[in-house]
Amino acid sequence: MNHLISTSILNADFTNLQKVIEMINASEADWFHLDIMDGVFVPNISFGLPIIEQIKKHTKKPLDVHLMIVEPDKYIERFKEAGADILTVHYETCTHLHRTIQSIKSLGMKAGVALNPHTSIDLLEDIIQDIDMALVMTVNPGFGGQSFIQHSYDKISRLKKLMIEKQSKALIEVDGGVDLSNTRKLNDTGVDVMVVGSFIFRSTNPTDTIASLKKA
């Protein structure tokens, strides 16, 4: 019950972004989760730096920025300037991952590495002690509202075991299909941060839904 909730605004009402920010600020949510999609790495386009800059002006909580883009190294400094507190890149897009992690941390941000559903946990073995967070995608990245991939529990368990073996202090984050039906089991499996978007913004009372997710 000590998990964090990172609220994904991907499915929020962008015509009322100010109200969305105020709601999250006033809620029990811990972070804002911002999915940046380029239409190349994933088959969708979301939003970019100007939106992050506007959110940063009004938020009272950390910005958890998830880059689903090719060549993320080109934009690391710009995302720092826009207001990112945590910057997560995909293992699948980084040729020199250790260098990318160093670049993120040198700018004062926390560094995360995300893995697609088909990507093995074992590939993090040589980097797990250097990162602040490992993000397990529990749906295929690109769109909100997908169903949770059930074998992700085993993947999370193996990640937790690897972290213990390597004495890593990194947080485990999951993204995709999280709702009240699986929050308790994810917490028991070792998840520290749960990204939730569709389940919150499709509910009749997002503030109460966030509170329920925190208590689950």
Q: What pLDDT is recorded for position 1?
A: 55
Task: Indicate whether 128 pLDDT > 60.
Answer: yes
Mean pLDDT of 93-112: 98
Mean pLDDT of 28-35: 98
175 in active site: yes
35 in active site: yes
C-alpha to C-alpha distance for 121 and 163, rounded to whole angstroms: 11
Q: Considering the chain, what percentage of its residues have pLDDT values greater than 70?
A: 99
Mean pLDDT of 36-51: 93
Number of domains, the chain = 1
C-alpha to C-alpha distance for 166 and 174, rounded to whole angstroms: 20
pTM for the whole thing? 0.96
Mean pLDDT of 37-58: 93
Segment 98-107 long-range contacts (CB within 8 Å, at least 24 positions apart): 98/127, 98/130, 99/73, 100/72, 100/73, 100/76, 101/127, 101/130, 101/131, 102/130, 103/73, 103/76, 104/76, 105/132, 107/76, 107/77, 107/80
Q: How far apart are the first and last CA of the chain?
A: 6
55-95 pLDDT, tens per residue?
999 999 999 999 999 999 999 999 999 999 999 999 999 99
161-201 pLDDT, tens per residue?
999 999 999 999 999 999 999 999 999 999 999 999 999 99
197-207 pLDDT, tens per residue?
999 999 999 99
Task: Indicate whether 143 pLDDT > 90.
Answer: no
Query: Which domain does 148 fall in, by range?
Result: 4-215
Q: What pLDDT is recorded for position 203?
A: 96
**Bridge partners for 177 per DSSP:** none
18's tokens: 């100010």
Select which of 30, 35, 132, 179 is catalytic. 35
Residue 141's pLDDT band (cuts 50, 70, 90) = confident
187's tokens: 């917490």
Select which of 38, 64, 132, 175 is catalytic. 175
C-alpha to C-alpha distance for 86 and 90, rounded to whole angstroms: 13
CATH number at residue 202: 3.20.20.70
